[in-house]
Structure 1
C-alpha cells in the first residue's frame, strides 16, 4: 500500500518532523502502524519505514525496496559495509568507516552521504549511522531531495521515482541499481532481520517494467540488466622469459568449464583494479563492486585466469572477486553485490552448462591444494560470513531436503541470521569477533560442545584446531554434502578428513537437511583410499613434447568403512601452457576416471579404480 505525505498539519521544519517521528508520534497523534500493535517491538523497523515515508512523501514500498537492495533491512550492529555504508539505508560515512584508508571508489559525495542526510533531517551524523530508525529517516530524506532536484513531485507512484533511485546508488551504475530495486518491488520480500525485526514488502500488482539498461551485445560477457565494463588484465612478456597474468585458451571448445569460484578481494575495489592491471600479478575474470553491484570483466571466459591456486581448477573455472573482507571488523556484503553476482553466475552457468550446486559453485576456501606442501597456504575466502543459503536462493536453486529422516547424506544449511557461532581473530589475535550470522557449523571430535575441534592435519600438522575465523579446518558450510556416520540426539556425525566429525543439529533448530545422492567407499580389498588435489591424466596419456605431471596424493586418506559424497565424475585432464604463444598450448586428456568428493571443508579427488559407488539410501540401510 502507498502512503502520501501527511495531510493533517501544516509544513514544519525538517528537524521538527524528525523529532516527532523518532519519538513514535505522528502529526495527527499516535503513529498508525497497520496490522501490528503499536507496541510490538518485533515490528519497530516496519514502523520506522512507514513513518519515514510519510514524513518525506516517499512511497513506503519504494523506500523498503531501496533498503532491501542495500542491506536486506539489517542494522549490521552499527558496523559499516566495505564501502563505508551504515544501517538499513546504507548511508555512507567514509570518515568514520575508513579511518584514513583509501576509499573503495573514487572520492566524491557518494562516500559521505551522512553529511547531506544530517542537513536534511537536522539529526547528528553519529545518530544517522548508529540508530536504525534515524538511518531509515535519513535515507527517505535523501530520496526526497533527489526527487526535488530532478524537478519531480513527491508522487505516490513508485515508477515516477526511477531517477531518484538511480541517484541513490551514488555511482555511474545508478540505472542498473534502480532496475534491481524495481525487480524487488515486483517480487516483494519478507524476512526477519539480523536484530529480530519482522519486515514485509508485498509484491507490487501494477508496476510498469522499466527497460533494462544493458544488453548481451556488448564487448563484455555479462547478462542483461547489470552494469558491466571491460577492464582487461594485461597479457605480455615479462623479464626472465616469464609472462602474465593469464593464459589464452579456447574454452569450452578445447576444454570444459566446470566451476565458478567465489572470492572476496580483501581489498577495496580501487585497490583490486590496480592489482589486476599488474602484469606480474595474478588474474581473475570478474570483479564486483560492493556499493552497487557494478561488474568489471578482466579476462575472457574462454581464457584461463590465475586465481584459485590450483592449476587444474584454474583451467576449468571462472573466478569472480567480490569487494569485501573475510573478517575485517565485521564489514558486510551488500545485497546489491549479492544480487549482481547471482545474475552473473546464473548467466555463466546457463551458458557453460554448469550445475548450480556446491560441487560446482565453489568458494576459494573449497579449492584443494595440489600437493601436500601447498595445503597449508591455500586461501580461506570468502569465509564463514558469506551467506551461501541466500546466494543459492538468488540463484534459483535453494538448499532443500531431498531425503527422508534416515537419509545417508546431509547437506549443511544454517539459519544464517540466528546461527552465530563464536569466531576469534577479526581484530587482534584471539579476540572474539562481533556476533554475526554464519553459514558454517563447527565440527567436534565427540557429540559435545566441550569436545575438541576436529584437526585438519594439512593446515595444522601439530597443535589443536582453533576458533580463529581464518582456521576453517573444523567447519562444514551451507550447501556442502556429507555422508552420515551416526546420529545421537541433537548431534549428527559425518565422515570428514578421514575421521568422524560431530556437529550440533537439533530438531528444533536444524543446521542441516537430509538429502540423497551418491557416495564412494573403498573398494573391496583396499584398507584405505588416497585422495588428490587435482585430477591429472595417467602417464601414458602425455605426448612426447609435454612433461608428465605427477599425480601426488595429499597427506590424507580414508579407511575402509568410511563414505564421502560424490560431486562429479571426470576423466583426467591437464592444460599445458608455459609460453606466451598460445600455439604451443596443449590439452592432455587421459582415460583414468576420478570422482570429486566433499572430503573436508575443501573438495578432493579419488580414483574411480580405488572406490565403489553407492546410493545414499542404500548406504543408510546398512
Structure 2
C-alpha cells in the first residue's frame, strides 16, 4: 500500500505535537505585538512553562502564564498541616493555634485576580484560560499588552522597551519587588532557556545577550517604596521589614519570639523551610500578632517578595522543637501542603534559594538536607510530642530544583560500594499515591513528588515501614499526605543495608526499609561519607529529638531539662548518616526580661543523624563514627 502523498511520517507528527506550546507563544506574541522572548521569559519565571494539567498554584494561578483567580485555592486549604503542637517547642508557654479566614473577593489584591482581567481583555472564557495552555498564553500576552499601553510605551519589537510592562505584570505594588521580578525575567532572556514541560512540550528561548532594559521605567511607575531598613537579605531579592512584636501582655506571658545574640551566644546551624497554610495577607497578620508565633521570613508566591519579621540574631517560635528553634532561621513560604496540584512559582523558588544561600554563607551553614530542613524533618522533642509535629512543606516541595538553584545539585559522589545513597527521584515522573488531600481516605490527584515510599520487603505489595513514635500500637504507616512514617525525601542520605535487583534497602527508624530504585530510572544516587554505628558491646543506642546538656551543666536557679529519649533505637549492625557534631546546649529564656536569658552548655557531645524522615540525635559516647565504605 502506497503512503498518501504529503502525509508526514509518525515521528514528524509527534515532533509537531510536542511543539504546540512553542507555536502558541509565537502566535500570541504576533497577535498582541509582544516580543516573543518577553512572553517566553515571563512565562518561564512564572511556571517554567508547565501547564500543571490546569490545576491552580498555591495562590490560585493557572497555566504557563500563572493567571490568578485565587479565592478558590485559599478556600480549600487545611490549616497548618493538621498539627496541633506549640511551634515554640518548649513547655514554658501554652500552645497557640491560628485562626484563618478566606478573604472576600473585594479584599483580594489585583495580583491575585489577573485571570478575570485576562478574560475581559482577550474575550476568552475563564475556564478556557484555566485549562487550555495556548489560551492561557494568549491571556498573558493580553495582560502584557495592556501594561505596555497603560505605561504609554510603544509596541516595540525590542524586548528592552518592555521592562516596565514586565514589572507591572508581576502585580507587585512596590518598586523593589517589581524591579527584581523584571530583572529576573530579563536575566532569563539574556541567558536563554530550553526545557521539556510537564506535558511533554519542548520549549526554547534563545539567549539574547544584547538586551539592555531601561530599569528607570520602574522608578517612574509610581509604586510604593518598601521599608528595607534593617533587613538581612541579599541584594538580589526584594525584601522589606515587617516586624513581629516583642511585647509583654500580662500574667508573665509575652510574644512572639525571644531576643538573643546569635551567633555570638549560640550558633545558627539550621534553616527550616515551612509553608504558611494561609494566604500572604493572613500570614502577615498572624506574625504581627503579639499573642501568636513568629518566624524570620515570609516569601510571597506570586512574585517572590520577602518580608523579614525577626532578626536572625533572635530566636523565632516556628519549628515545634525548642532546641532547633534556638539554632535555626525559619522561612515561611506562601502555600498549602495538602493541595497536590498546587505549585510554587519559579520566582519564589529563586528568591528563597538566594535567601538560603545568603544565610548559609553568612552563618556557615552547610547546604545539605541535614541543615536545610523541611519543617517535616524537624524531630519531636519527646515521645508525646511526635504526633504533634508539623508536616510542611510536604511531598510536593521540589527539593532537587531548590538545591540546583542554590548551586548545590544532588550528584553521585561514589560508586555502588560507597555505602550511602542520596535520594533523588525524577520529580515529574515520581508520583506516589497519597490520600487525604481533600477528605480523609480519598486518593489525592496524581502529582510529581520529592518523596519515595519505603516498605518492609522489596515489593510494593509489602506493608509500609512502621513508625512506633507515630503509632505506638505498631500499626503500619499509611499513604496519608501528612504521614511521615515511611517516607524518604529528595536530598536525604541513608546508609545502604542491602540491594536486591531494582530495590535498595536502607537503615531507617531502626529497621531495614526497602524502596524501589530501578537501574534504568533510579530514585537514588550512590554516595559515600561518614556514618555512626553503635560502639562494640552495645546492642542498641537511645535516640533523641534534641541535644540538651547533662544536668551537671546547669547553674543554680535553672532547672535542668530532661534528657528524654524517643521511642526508637539505633540497633547493633545498623548505620546512619552523620549530619553534624555539637555539644549539648539549652537556651534558657522563660521571661520577657532578657537579663535572665542564658545559654547552658554541657560537656556531652551529640551527633545529628538522618534517622527516619526526620533528623535525630545520638550521644557520641554511644556510637563510633566510621567511613560508609568501610
TM-score where L is the length of structure 1? 0.90
Per the TM alignment, residue 215 of structure 1 is displaced from its structure 2 partner at its CA by 12
| Preserved contact between residue 193 and residue 417 of structure 1 (Cα < 8 Å) | no
Find the aligned partners of 1:418 and 1:614 in 2 and give their Cα distance.
35
Per the TM alignment, residue 97 of structure 1 is displaced from its structure 2 partner at its CA by 4.6
1:176 to 156, 176, 180: 180
Taking structure 1 as reference, are residues 95 and 230 closer, same or farther at Cα in structure 2, changes over 3 Å only? closer
* Aligned position for 2:278: 267
1:513 to 525, 547, 551: 525
Find the aligned partners of 1:109 and 1:229 in 2 and give their Cα distance.
20
* Aligned position for 2:235: 224
Find the aligned partners of 2:179 and 2:215 in 1 and give their Cα distance.
10
* Aligned position for 2:593: 581
Find the aligned partners of 1:376 and 1:368 in 2 and give their Cα distance.
10
Find the aligned partners of 2:150 and 2:276 in 1 and give their Cα distance.
36
Find the aligned partners of 2:112 and 2:617 in 1 and give their Cα distance.
46
Find the aligned partners of 2:194 and 2:399 in 1 and give their Cα distance.
18
- State the secondary structure of the residue aligned to 2:463: coil
Per the TM alignment, residue 294 of structure 1 is displaced from its structure 2 partner at its CA by 0.9
Find the aligned partners of 1:582 and 1:421 in 2 and give their Cα distance.
48
Matches within 5 A, 1:356-367: 356-367=367-378
| Preserved contact between residue 103 and residue 270 of structure 1 (Cα < 8 Å) | no
* Aligned position for 1:190: 194
Find the aligned partners of 1:234 and 1:105 in 2 and give their Cα distance.
28
Taking structure 1 as reference, are residues 95 and 360 closer, same or farther at Cα in structure 2, changes over 3 Å only? closer
- State the secondary structure of the residue aligned to 1:239: coil
- State the secondary structure of the residue aligned to 2:120: helix
* Aligned position for 1:91: 67
Kindly indicate whether residue 306 of structure 2 is the aligned counterpart of residue 295 of structure 1: yes
2:611 to 596, 599, 616: 599
* Aligned position for 2:102: 101
Taking structure 1 as reference, are residues 309 and 104 closer, same or farther at Cα in structure 2, changes over 3 Å only? farther
2:543 to 531, 542, 554: 531
Kindly indicate whether residue 297 of structure 2 is the aligned counterpart of residue 286 of structure 1: yes
User: 1:446-505: per-residue Cα shift (whole Å, max 9, x none)?
Assistant: 000101100111112232211111111100000000000011110000000000000000
Unaligned runs of 5+ in 2: 1-10, 76-100, 220-224
Find the aligned partners of 1:384 and 1:223 in 2 and give their Cα distance.
28
* Aligned position for 2:83: none
Find the aligned partners of 2:539 and 2:489 in 1 and give their Cα distance.
29
Find the aligned partners of 2:248 and 2:71 in 1 and give their Cα distance.
41
Find the aligned partners of 2:350 and 2:469 in 1 and give their Cα distance.
35
Find the aligned partners of 1:36 and 1:185 in 2 and give their Cα distance.
29
- State the secondary structure of the residue aligned to 2:579: strand
Taking structure 1 as reference, are residues 104 and 331 closer, same or farther at Cα in structure 2, changes over 3 Å only? farther
Find the aligned partners of 2:442 and 2:509 in 1 and give their Cα distance.
28
Find the aligned partners of 1:155 and 1:560 in 2 and give their Cα distance.
71
User: 1:29-88: per-residue Cα shift (whole Å, max 9, x none)?
Assistant: xxxxxx987852222222211221222222222211111111111111211112221111
- State the secondary structure of the residue aligned to 1:596: strand
User: 1:138-184: per-residue Cα shift (whole Å, max 9, x none)?
Assistant: 11111112112212122222221110001101121322211221222
Find the aligned partners of 1:581 and 1:36 in 2 and give their Cα distance.
73
User: 1:405-463: per-residue Cα shift (whole Å, max 9, x none)?
Assistant: 22200000010011111111111111111111100001000000101100111112232
Find the aligned partners of 1:393 and 1:39 in 2 and give their Cα distance.
29
2:573 to 561, 568, 578: 561
CA-based RMSD of the aligned residues comes to: 2.1
* Aligned position for 2:422: 411
| Preserved contact between residue 422 and residue 525 of structure 2 (Cα < 8 Å) | yes
User: 1:298-332: per-residue Cα shift (whole Å, max 9, x none)?
Assistant: 11110000110101100000000001000136322
Find the aligned partners of 2:120 and 2:254 in 1 and give their Cα distance.
53
User: 1:311-368: per-residue Cα shift (whole Å, max 9, x none)?
Assistant: 1100000000001000136322111211111111111111111111101100000000
| Preserved contact between residue 67 and residue 73 of structure 1 (Cα < 8 Å) | yes
User: 1:522-574: per-residue Cα shift (whole Å, max 9, x none)?
Assistant: 00010111110111112222211222112111100021100000011111111
Kindly indicate whether residue 317 of structure 2 is the aligned counterpart of residue 311 of structure 1: no
Per the TM alignment, residue 207 of structure 1 is displaced from its structure 2 partner at its CA by 2.6
Find the aligned partners of 2:240 and 2:160 in 1 and give their Cα distance.
27
Find the aligned partners of 2:476 and 2:206 in 1 and give their Cα distance.
49
Matches within 5 A, 1:50-449: 50-94=26-70, 97-98=73-74, 101-102=102-103, 106-172=107-173, 173-208=177-212, 218-328=229-339, 330-449=341-460
Does 225-234 or 246-255 show the bigger shift?
225-234
Taking structure 1 as reference, are residues 216 and 256 closer, same or farther at Cα in structure 2, changes over 3 Å only? farther
| Preserved contact between residue 215 and residue 223 of structure 1 (Cα < 8 Å) | no
RCO comparison, higher one (Cα < 8 Å, 6+):
2
| Preserved contact between residue 62 and residue 185 of structure 1 (Cα < 8 Å) | yes
- Corresponding pairs, count: 584
Taking structure 1 as reference, are residues 615 and 98 closer, same or farther at Cα in structure 2, changes over 3 Å only? closer
TM-score where L is the length of structure 2? 0.89
Find the aligned partners of 1:105 and 1:461 in 2 and give their Cα distance.
48
Does 123-132 or 490-499 show the bigger shift?
123-132
Unaligned runs of 5+ in 1: 1-34
Does 377-386 or 86-95 show the bigger shift?
86-95
Find the aligned partners of 1:425 and 1:502 in 2 and give their Cα distance.
24
Does 122-131 or 250-259 show the bigger shift?
122-131
